[in-house]
Amino acid sequence: MIVDAIPPQAWIALPLAVSALAPAAYVWRYFTHDLTPRDITLPPEDLTWKSVRHLLFCLALLTGLLAIGGFAFTEWAENFARSEWLAPAFLGAIGSYALGTVVPGWRNGEIEPLIRGSFKSYSRGEQPKRYWASLIWNGAIGLAFTASSFGTLYGNTKPACDDNGNEKELFEAVATCNAMLADHDLDVEKRAELLGDRGRVHHRLGNNHLALLDYSKAIELEPGDSYALFNRALIHRELRDLPNAIKDLDASLALWPENDRAYLERGLANLDYGRFEKAVEDFTLLDNLVPDHPYALANRGLAYAWMDDELNAQDDFRRVGKNQPGWVVVLHGKAVLARNRQKHRESIDYLSQALEIDPDDYFALRLRADAYWEIGEKDLARDDDDRSIALAAED
Protein backbone atom coordinates (compact mmCIF):
# COMPACT_ATOMS: atom_id res chain seq x y z
CA MET A 1 0.00 0.00 0.00
CA ILE A 2 0.96 3.61 -0.53
CA VAL A 3 0.63 4.36 3.17
CA ASP A 4 3.04 1.56 4.03
CA ALA A 5 5.67 3.10 1.69
CA ILE A 6 5.69 6.39 3.61
CA PRO A 7 8.68 6.57 6.00
CA PRO A 8 7.47 6.37 9.61
CA GLN A 9 9.39 9.57 10.46
CA ALA A 10 7.06 11.43 8.09
CA TRP A 11 4.12 10.71 10.38
CA ILE A 12 5.99 12.51 13.17
CA ALA A 13 7.50 15.26 11.02
CA LEU A 14 4.14 16.21 9.45
CA PRO A 15 2.35 17.20 12.69
CA LEU A 16 5.53 18.90 13.90
CA ALA A 17 5.64 21.01 10.73
CA VAL A 18 1.95 21.92 11.09
CA SER A 19 2.52 22.84 14.75
CA ALA A 20 5.48 25.03 13.80
CA LEU A 21 3.59 27.10 11.20
CA ALA A 22 1.95 29.60 13.57
CA PRO A 23 4.97 30.27 15.85
CA ALA A 24 7.32 30.45 12.84
CA ALA A 25 4.99 32.94 11.14
CA TYR A 26 4.92 35.08 14.29
CA VAL A 27 8.73 35.07 14.63
CA TRP A 28 9.11 35.98 10.95
CA ARG A 29 6.55 38.76 11.24
CA TYR A 30 8.15 40.08 14.44
CA PHE A 31 11.64 40.43 12.95
CA THR A 32 10.65 41.56 9.45
CA HIS A 33 7.92 44.03 10.44
CA ASP A 34 10.22 47.03 10.90
CA LEU A 35 12.14 46.27 7.69
CA THR A 36 9.19 47.31 5.53
CA PRO A 37 8.94 51.11 5.02
CA ARG A 38 5.58 52.54 6.11
CA ASP A 39 3.75 55.60 4.81
CA ILE A 40 3.96 58.20 7.60
CA THR A 41 0.66 59.73 6.51
CA LEU A 42 -1.20 56.59 7.60
CA PRO A 43 -2.84 56.48 11.05
CA PRO A 44 -0.78 54.91 13.88
CA GLU A 45 -0.39 51.15 13.47
CA ASP A 46 -1.80 48.74 16.05
CA LEU A 47 1.23 46.96 17.49
CA THR A 48 -0.52 45.22 20.35
CA TRP A 49 0.28 41.91 18.65
CA LYS A 50 4.02 42.55 19.06
CA SER A 51 5.02 41.05 22.39
CA VAL A 52 8.49 40.08 23.60
CA ARG A 53 6.90 37.53 25.87
CA HIS A 54 5.06 35.89 22.99
CA LEU A 55 8.21 36.05 20.86
CA LEU A 56 10.18 34.16 23.50
CA PHE A 57 7.37 31.65 23.81
CA CYS A 58 7.36 31.03 20.03
CA LEU A 59 11.16 30.69 19.93
CA ALA A 60 11.06 28.19 22.79
CA LEU A 61 8.28 26.28 21.05
CA LEU A 62 10.20 26.15 17.77
CA THR A 63 13.32 24.97 19.60
CA GLY A 64 11.31 22.20 21.23
CA LEU A 65 9.74 21.16 17.93
CA LEU A 66 13.17 21.12 16.29
CA ALA A 67 14.51 18.90 19.07
CA ILE A 68 11.57 16.53 18.65
CA GLY A 69 12.19 16.57 14.89
CA GLY A 70 15.76 15.40 15.46
CA PHE A 71 14.51 12.74 17.83
CA ALA A 72 12.10 11.55 15.13
CA PHE A 73 14.98 9.94 13.23
CA THR A 74 15.94 7.63 16.09
CA GLU A 75 14.94 3.96 16.18
CA TRP A 76 12.69 4.51 19.19
CA ALA A 77 10.78 7.20 17.34
CA GLU A 78 10.39 4.94 14.30
CA ASN A 79 8.84 2.24 16.48
CA PHE A 80 6.60 4.84 18.11
CA ALA A 81 5.48 6.15 14.70
CA ARG A 82 4.42 2.65 13.70
CA SER A 83 2.66 2.01 16.99
CA GLU A 84 -0.97 2.50 17.94
CA TRP A 85 0.03 5.33 20.30
CA LEU A 86 1.03 7.98 17.74
CA ALA A 87 -2.42 9.26 16.76
CA PRO A 88 -3.80 9.35 20.35
CA ALA A 89 -0.63 11.10 21.58
CA PHE A 90 -0.80 13.72 18.82
CA LEU A 91 -4.51 14.38 19.32
CA GLY A 92 -4.07 14.41 23.08
CA ALA A 93 -1.20 16.90 22.89
CA ILE A 94 -3.30 19.35 20.85
CA GLY A 95 -6.28 18.88 23.13
CA SER A 96 -4.22 19.38 26.27
CA TYR A 97 -2.62 22.52 24.86
CA ALA A 98 -6.01 23.98 23.92
CA LEU A 99 -7.54 23.19 27.31
CA GLY A 100 -4.39 24.54 28.94
CA THR A 101 -5.17 28.00 27.54
CA VAL A 102 -8.70 28.01 28.95
CA VAL A 103 -7.92 27.77 32.67
CA PRO A 104 -5.36 30.60 32.82
CA GLY A 105 -7.53 32.59 30.40
CA TRP A 106 -10.44 32.28 32.82
CA ARG A 107 -8.30 33.24 35.78
CA ASN A 108 -6.45 36.14 34.12
CA GLY A 109 -9.37 37.45 32.13
CA GLU A 110 -7.34 37.37 28.89
CA ILE A 111 -7.07 34.70 26.20
CA GLU A 112 -5.62 34.26 22.72
CA PRO A 113 -7.84 32.26 20.32
CA LEU A 114 -6.28 29.23 18.66
CA ILE A 115 -6.84 30.47 15.12
CA ARG A 116 -4.22 30.29 12.40
CA GLY A 117 -2.69 33.70 11.79
CA SER A 118 -4.19 35.24 14.93
CA PHE A 119 -1.77 36.53 17.54
CA LYS A 120 -4.13 38.83 19.43
CA SER A 121 -5.32 38.35 22.97
CA TYR A 122 -8.76 39.46 24.05
CA SER A 123 -9.62 40.89 27.46
CA ARG A 124 -12.78 40.03 29.37
CA GLY A 125 -13.15 43.63 30.50
CA GLU A 126 -12.39 45.45 27.23
CA GLN A 127 -13.61 42.97 24.58
CA PRO A 128 -16.05 40.63 26.35
CA LYS A 129 -17.71 39.19 23.22
CA ARG A 130 -14.43 38.23 21.57
CA TYR A 131 -13.05 37.06 24.92
CA TRP A 132 -15.95 34.66 25.55
CA ALA A 133 -15.98 33.50 21.94
CA SER A 134 -12.24 32.74 22.16
CA LEU A 135 -12.64 30.98 25.50
CA ILE A 136 -15.46 28.79 24.17
CA TRP A 137 -13.57 28.15 20.92
CA ASN A 138 -10.37 27.01 22.67
CA GLY A 139 -12.38 24.88 25.09
CA ALA A 140 -14.33 23.24 22.26
CA ILE A 141 -11.12 22.47 20.35
CA GLY A 142 -9.54 21.06 23.50
CA LEU A 143 -12.50 18.83 24.31
CA ALA A 144 -12.85 17.64 20.71
CA PHE A 145 -9.20 16.67 20.33
CA THR A 146 -9.04 15.11 23.81
CA ALA A 147 -12.18 13.06 23.12
CA SER A 148 -10.74 12.01 19.75
CA SER A 149 -7.54 10.95 21.49
CA PHE A 150 -9.39 8.71 23.94
CA GLY A 151 -11.66 7.41 21.20
CA THR A 152 -8.72 6.51 18.97
CA LEU A 153 -6.88 4.89 21.86
CA TYR A 154 -9.98 2.86 22.74
CA GLY A 155 -10.38 1.80 19.11
CA ASN A 156 -6.72 0.80 18.89
CA THR A 157 -6.70 -1.22 22.10
CA LYS A 158 -10.15 -2.77 21.71
CA PRO A 159 -9.91 -6.35 20.36
CA ALA A 160 -10.80 -6.41 16.68
CA CYS A 161 -11.55 -9.06 14.09
CA ASP A 162 -8.67 -8.25 11.74
CA ASP A 163 -5.33 -9.68 10.64
CA ASN A 164 -3.11 -6.96 12.10
CA GLY A 165 -0.57 -7.63 14.83
CA ASN A 166 1.71 -10.40 16.05
CA GLU A 167 0.86 -14.05 16.60
CA LYS A 168 -0.58 -13.49 20.08
CA GLU A 169 -2.78 -10.67 18.79
CA LEU A 170 -3.91 -12.85 15.88
CA PHE A 171 -5.10 -15.58 18.27
CA GLU A 172 -6.96 -12.88 20.22
CA ALA A 173 -8.46 -11.69 16.93
CA VAL A 174 -9.78 -15.20 16.21
CA ALA A 175 -11.52 -15.21 19.60
CA THR A 176 -12.97 -11.77 18.86
CA CYS A 177 -14.20 -12.94 15.45
CA ASN A 178 -15.81 -16.01 17.04
CA ALA A 179 -17.59 -13.87 19.62
CA MET A 180 -18.87 -11.46 16.98
CA LEU A 181 -20.05 -14.28 14.73
CA ALA A 182 -21.96 -15.82 17.66
CA ASP A 183 -24.43 -12.94 17.37
CA HIS A 184 -27.49 -14.49 15.70
CA ASP A 185 -28.89 -11.07 14.79
CA LEU A 186 -26.12 -10.26 12.30
CA ASP A 187 -27.34 -9.44 8.82
CA VAL A 188 -26.02 -11.41 5.86
CA GLU A 189 -23.59 -8.73 4.69
CA LYS A 190 -22.00 -8.27 8.12
CA ARG A 191 -21.70 -12.03 8.71
CA ALA A 192 -20.02 -12.49 5.34
CA GLU A 193 -17.64 -9.63 6.12
CA LEU A 194 -16.70 -11.15 9.50
CA LEU A 195 -16.15 -14.57 7.94
CA GLY A 196 -13.80 -13.01 5.40
CA ASP A 197 -11.98 -11.17 8.19
CA ARG A 198 -11.57 -14.38 10.19
CA GLY A 199 -10.39 -16.12 7.03
CA ARG A 200 -7.56 -13.59 6.69
CA VAL A 201 -6.59 -14.12 10.33
CA HIS A 202 -6.50 -17.89 9.84
CA HIS A 203 -4.40 -17.37 6.72
CA ARG A 204 -1.90 -15.24 8.64
CA LEU A 205 -1.68 -17.99 11.27
CA GLY A 206 -1.03 -20.61 8.58
CA ASN A 207 -4.39 -22.35 9.06
CA ASN A 208 -5.17 -22.51 5.37
CA HIS A 209 -7.93 -25.11 5.60
CA LEU A 210 -9.80 -23.04 8.20
CA ALA A 211 -9.27 -19.93 6.05
CA LEU A 212 -10.64 -21.80 3.04
CA LEU A 213 -13.72 -22.81 5.01
CA ASP A 214 -14.39 -19.23 6.13
CA TYR A 215 -13.96 -17.78 2.65
CA SER A 216 -16.30 -20.44 1.22
CA LYS A 217 -18.97 -19.60 3.81
CA ALA A 218 -18.55 -15.88 3.07
CA ILE A 219 -18.96 -16.50 -0.66
CA GLU A 220 -22.10 -18.60 -0.06
CA LEU A 221 -23.59 -15.58 1.70
CA GLU A 222 -22.22 -12.97 -0.72
CA PRO A 223 -21.45 -14.59 -4.12
CA GLY A 224 -20.53 -11.19 -5.56
CA ASP A 225 -17.69 -10.52 -3.09
CA SER A 226 -14.63 -10.21 -5.36
CA TYR A 227 -12.29 -9.85 -2.37
CA ALA A 228 -13.41 -13.15 -0.83
CA LEU A 229 -13.09 -14.90 -4.20
CA PHE A 230 -9.60 -13.47 -4.67
CA ASN A 231 -8.50 -14.45 -1.17
CA ARG A 232 -9.91 -17.96 -1.54
CA ALA A 233 -8.01 -18.28 -4.82
CA LEU A 234 -4.77 -17.48 -2.97
CA ILE A 235 -5.50 -20.29 -0.51
CA HIS A 236 -6.30 -22.73 -3.34
CA ARG A 237 -3.00 -21.83 -5.00
CA GLU A 238 -1.02 -22.32 -1.80
CA LEU A 239 -2.68 -25.73 -1.40
CA ARG A 240 -1.73 -26.48 -5.03
CA ASP A 241 -5.39 -26.72 -6.07
CA LEU A 242 -4.67 -24.80 -9.26
CA PRO A 243 -7.93 -25.46 -11.17
CA ASN A 244 -10.03 -24.02 -8.33
CA ALA A 245 -7.59 -21.14 -7.89
CA ILE A 246 -8.00 -20.23 -11.55
CA LYS A 247 -11.78 -20.63 -11.31
CA ASP A 248 -12.00 -18.21 -8.34
CA LEU A 249 -9.69 -15.71 -10.02
CA ASP A 250 -11.87 -15.84 -13.14
CA ALA A 251 -14.92 -15.03 -11.00
CA SER A 252 -13.11 -12.30 -9.05
CA LEU A 253 -11.86 -10.59 -12.20
CA ALA A 254 -15.33 -10.73 -13.74
CA LEU A 255 -16.49 -8.64 -10.77
CA TRP A 256 -13.37 -6.47 -10.47
CA PRO A 257 -11.48 -6.34 -13.80
CA GLU A 258 -9.13 -3.56 -12.58
CA ASN A 259 -7.50 -5.80 -9.94
CA ASP A 260 -3.97 -6.00 -11.34
CA ARG A 261 -2.80 -8.45 -8.68
CA ALA A 262 -5.50 -10.93 -9.75
CA TYR A 263 -4.02 -11.03 -13.26
CA LEU A 264 -0.61 -11.75 -11.75
CA GLU A 265 -1.97 -14.50 -9.50
CA ARG A 266 -3.97 -16.10 -12.32
CA GLY A 267 -0.96 -15.91 -14.61
CA LEU A 268 1.20 -17.63 -11.99
CA ALA A 269 -1.46 -20.30 -11.45
CA ASN A 270 -1.64 -20.92 -15.21
CA LEU A 271 2.15 -21.01 -15.35
CA ASP A 272 2.34 -23.59 -12.55
CA TYR A 273 -0.47 -25.57 -14.20
CA GLY A 274 1.43 -25.72 -17.49
CA ARG A 275 -1.07 -23.54 -19.38
CA PHE A 276 1.63 -21.32 -20.82
CA GLU A 277 -0.48 -19.62 -23.51
CA LYS A 278 -3.05 -18.62 -20.88
CA ALA A 279 -0.24 -17.40 -18.62
CA VAL A 280 1.11 -15.23 -21.45
CA GLU A 281 -2.38 -13.74 -21.91
CA ASP A 282 -2.66 -12.87 -18.21
CA PHE A 283 0.80 -11.34 -17.97
CA THR A 284 0.10 -9.34 -21.13
CA LEU A 285 -3.14 -8.02 -19.62
CA LEU A 286 -1.20 -7.06 -16.49
CA ASP A 287 1.50 -5.34 -18.58
CA ASN A 288 -1.21 -3.37 -20.39
CA LEU A 289 -2.81 -2.40 -17.07
CA VAL A 290 0.50 -1.58 -15.35
CA PRO A 291 3.10 -0.87 -18.06
CA ASP A 292 6.57 -2.36 -17.51
CA HIS A 293 5.41 -4.34 -14.48
CA PRO A 294 8.60 -6.32 -13.68
CA TYR A 295 6.80 -9.47 -12.53
CA ALA A 296 4.54 -9.42 -15.59
CA LEU A 297 7.52 -9.17 -17.92
CA ALA A 298 9.70 -11.70 -16.08
CA ASN A 299 6.96 -14.32 -15.75
CA ARG A 300 5.76 -13.83 -19.32
CA GLY A 301 9.34 -14.36 -20.42
CA LEU A 302 9.44 -17.55 -18.34
CA ALA A 303 6.22 -18.76 -19.98
CA TYR A 304 7.73 -18.05 -23.41
CA ALA A 305 10.85 -19.96 -22.35
CA TRP A 306 8.80 -23.05 -21.46
CA MET A 307 7.15 -22.68 -24.89
CA ASP A 308 10.66 -22.55 -26.40
CA ASP A 309 9.96 -19.09 -27.82
CA GLU A 310 13.43 -17.67 -27.21
CA LEU A 311 12.92 -14.46 -29.20
CA ASN A 312 9.93 -13.23 -27.15
CA ALA A 313 11.41 -14.57 -23.91
CA GLN A 314 14.67 -12.65 -24.32
CA ASP A 315 12.76 -9.53 -25.34
CA ASP A 316 10.86 -9.60 -22.02
CA PHE A 317 13.99 -10.43 -20.01
CA ARG A 318 15.83 -7.42 -21.46
CA ARG A 319 13.13 -5.14 -20.05
CA VAL A 320 13.75 -6.27 -16.45
CA GLY A 321 16.71 -4.68 -14.67
CA LYS A 322 19.14 -6.76 -12.63
CA ASN A 323 18.18 -5.03 -9.38
CA GLN A 324 14.45 -5.01 -10.07
CA PRO A 325 11.88 -7.30 -8.49
CA GLY A 326 11.46 -10.26 -10.76
CA TRP A 327 15.15 -10.66 -11.59
CA VAL A 328 15.19 -14.13 -10.01
CA VAL A 329 12.39 -15.13 -12.39
CA VAL A 330 14.52 -13.85 -15.29
CA LEU A 331 17.34 -16.15 -14.15
CA HIS A 332 14.84 -19.03 -14.04
CA GLY A 333 13.76 -18.24 -17.57
CA LYS A 334 17.30 -18.00 -18.89
CA ALA A 335 18.03 -21.36 -17.25
CA VAL A 336 15.01 -22.91 -19.00
CA LEU A 337 16.17 -21.52 -22.35
CA ALA A 338 19.64 -23.00 -21.80
CA ARG A 339 18.06 -26.32 -20.77
CA ASN A 340 16.02 -26.34 -23.98
CA ARG A 341 19.32 -26.14 -25.91
CA GLN A 342 20.91 -28.88 -23.78
CA LYS A 343 23.35 -26.31 -22.37
CA HIS A 344 23.17 -27.75 -18.88
CA ARG A 345 26.22 -26.02 -17.40
CA GLU A 346 24.93 -22.65 -18.56
CA SER A 347 21.58 -23.52 -17.01
CA ILE A 348 23.34 -24.45 -13.75
CA ASP A 349 25.14 -21.11 -13.75
CA TYR A 350 21.87 -19.16 -14.00
CA LEU A 351 20.22 -21.28 -11.31
CA SER A 352 23.21 -20.87 -9.00
CA GLN A 353 22.89 -17.08 -9.37
CA ALA A 354 19.23 -17.39 -8.40
CA LEU A 355 20.16 -19.46 -5.33
CA GLU A 356 22.68 -16.83 -4.27
CA ILE A 357 19.76 -14.40 -4.07
CA ASP A 358 17.40 -16.90 -2.41
CA PRO A 359 18.99 -20.08 -1.01
CA ASP A 360 15.51 -21.57 -0.48
CA ASP A 361 14.49 -21.19 -4.13
CA TYR A 362 12.66 -24.51 -4.66
CA PHE A 363 12.30 -24.06 -8.42
CA ALA A 364 16.04 -23.39 -8.85
CA LEU A 365 17.00 -26.39 -6.70
CA ARG A 366 14.74 -28.78 -8.63
CA LEU A 367 15.87 -27.55 -12.03
CA ARG A 368 19.55 -27.51 -11.03
CA ALA A 369 19.26 -31.07 -9.66
CA ASP A 370 17.92 -32.20 -13.06
CA ALA A 371 20.80 -30.42 -14.81
CA TYR A 372 23.37 -32.07 -12.53
CA TRP A 373 21.84 -35.49 -13.26
CA GLU A 374 22.09 -34.76 -17.00
CA ILE A 375 25.85 -34.09 -16.80
CA GLY A 376 26.56 -36.95 -14.39
CA GLU A 377 27.24 -34.85 -11.25
CA LYS A 378 25.35 -37.31 -9.05
CA ASP A 379 26.49 -36.06 -5.63
CA LEU A 380 25.55 -32.47 -6.43
CA ALA A 381 22.26 -33.66 -7.91
CA ARG A 382 21.42 -35.65 -4.75
CA ASP A 383 22.32 -32.65 -2.59
CA ASP A 384 19.90 -30.39 -4.49
CA ASP A 385 17.24 -33.10 -4.42
CA ASP A 386 17.59 -33.44 -0.64
CA ARG A 387 17.37 -29.68 -0.11
CA SER A 388 14.28 -29.36 -2.31
CA ILE A 389 12.58 -32.31 -0.58
CA ALA A 390 13.29 -30.70 2.82
CA LEU A 391 11.76 -27.40 1.63
CA ALA A 392 8.69 -29.21 0.32
CA ALA A 393 8.29 -30.98 3.67
CA GLU A 394 8.42 -27.64 5.52
CA ASP A 395 5.61 -26.30 3.34
Q: Confidence class of residue 78 from pLDDT cuts 50, 70 and 90? A: low
pLDDT above 70 coverage of the chain, percent: 87
Q: Confidence class of residue 208 from pLDDT cuts 50, 70 and 90? A: very high
pLDDT at residue number 133: 87
Region of poorest pLDDT, from 99-108, 265-274, 364-373: 99-108
CA distances from 222 to 174, 177, 229, 245, 266 (A): 21, 18, 10, 18, 22
Region of poorest pLDDT, from 21-30, 87-96, 134-143, 187-196: 87-96
CA distance linking residue 217 with residue 199, whole number of Å: 10
- Average pLDDT, stretch 259-280? 97
pLDDT at residue number 3: 46
Q: Confidence class of residue 389 from pLDDT cuts 50, 70 and 90? A: very high
CA distance linking residue 392 with residue 386, whole number of Å: 10
The larger pLDDT score, comparing residue 115 to residue 243, is at 243
Q: Residue 49 belongs to what H/E stretch?
A: none
Q: Is the pLDDT of residue 149 over 80?
A: no
Q: What is the mean pLDDT of the chain?
A: 86
pLDDT at residue number 390: 94
Q: Residue 366 belongs to what H/E stretch?
A: helix 362-374
The larger pLDDT score, comparing residue 82 to residue 250, is at 250
Q: Is the pLDDT of residue 77 over 70?
A: no
392-395 contacts at long range (C-beta below 8 A, 24 or more positions apart): 392/362
pLDDT at residue number 198: 94
CA distance linking residue 208 with residue 42, whole number of Å: 79
The full 3-state SS of 246-295, as one line of letters, equals: HHHHHHHHHHCCCCHHHHHHHHHHHHHCCCHHHHHHHHHHHHHHCCCCHH
- pTM for the structure as a whole: 0.64
pLDDT at residue number 6: 59
The larger pLDDT score, comparing residue 313 to residue 32, is at 313
Q: Which of 25-39, 90-104, 123-137, 168-182 reaches the highest mean pLDDT? A: 168-182
CA distance linking residue 115 with residue 257, whole number of Å: 47
Region of poorest pLDDT, from 1-15, 50-64, 278-292, 365-379: 1-15
pLDDT at residue number 38: 63
Other Cβ atoms less than 10 A from the Cβ of 93: the count is 15
pLDDT at residue number 82: 59
- Average pLDDT, stretch 38-56? 74
